[in-house]
Amino acid sequence: MHVVRIAWVVGALGVGLGAMSSTAAAHTRALQAPTLPDTNAIPPDMVTEGRKVFHSKGMCLACHGAQLEGGPVAPTLKAHAWRDARDGDLSAIYNVVTKGVRGTVMSPRPGGISDPETIAVAAYIWSVSHRGAKP
């Protein structure tokens, strides 16, 4: 009797954990597949929003400079030989801002910015560095 009950509990737990891990997998997929804009059609509003995030909530300017010129602790984010964000691609910039750079003061999502804010700030940096948009 006891054995049966324990088997049932273990079974139920197994189902529960299975459901949990598939939810986690779906969540991970969602995180890995952000809707980054097509770089040929970045909405100007998104760049404006990204500029705001960079200079306020994200506090990126503290290290990267108000004009993206770089500073004593962090590199410029204008066109340069990218160190972490491979080739300065939009998705690479997004990934660096999302995950940070391990072992450096570049933390994941500085200022606790949301995913849409991360996309906007990445689109802003891309537009300044690749299209000469106003910093």
Q: In whole angstroms, how close is the CB of 66 to ligand HEC at the nearest point?
A: 12
Q: Which of residues 74-93 bind ligand HEC (CB under 6 A)?
A: 74-75, 77, 82-85, 93
36 touches ligand HEC by CB under 6 A: no
End-to-end CA distance of the chain: 71
Q: Please identify which residue in 47, 51, 58, 133 interacts with ligand HEC, judged by CB under 6 A.
A: 58
Question: What value does the CA radius of gyration of the chain take, rounded to a whole number of Å?
Answer: 21
Place of tokens 């779906």: 26
Given 59, 70, 98, 130, the residue binding ligand HEC (CB under 6 A): 59
**Is there a contact between 77 and 128 (Cβ–Cβ < 8 Å)?**
yes
Q: Which two tokens stand for residue 39?
A: 């770089």
Going 52 to 54 to 58 to 59, the CA torsion angle's sign is negative
Q: Which residues bind ligand HEC (CB under 6 A)?
A: 54, 58-60, 62-64, 73-75, 77, 82-85, 93, 96-97, 101, 104-106, 110-111, 113, 121, 125
